[in-house]
Amino acid sequence: MKELDLEVAGEFILMAATLIQIKVRMLLPKSEYEEEVEEEDPRAELVRQILEYKRFKEISESLADMEDHQRRLFTRSWFQWTKQYKKDEGISAEELLMDVTLFDLLSAFKSVLENMPKETVHHVATVGVTIEERIDFLLNQLSEKNRINFRELMVQLKERVTIVVTFMAILELIRTHRIRVQQESAFGEIWIVKQ
- Series of mean pLDDT values for 10-residue runs along the chain (195 residues): 71 85 81 65 80 93 92 71 54 61 85 79 72 90 86 85 90 90 84 85
- The CATH class, in words, for 87-194 is mainly alpha
Bridge partners of residue 191, in order along the sequence: 149, 182
pTM above 0.95, yes or no: no
pLDDT for 62 equals 94
pLDDT for 144 equals 85
What gap in Å lies between CA 137 and CA 143, rounded to an integer? 10
SS3 label, residue 179: strand
Under 8 Å CB-to-CB from 195, ≥6 apart: which residues?
177, 178, 179, 180
Residue ranges per structural domain of the chain: 6-71, 87-194
pLDDT for 66 equals 92
Residue in 145, 195, 144 with CA at minimum distance from that of residue 170: 195
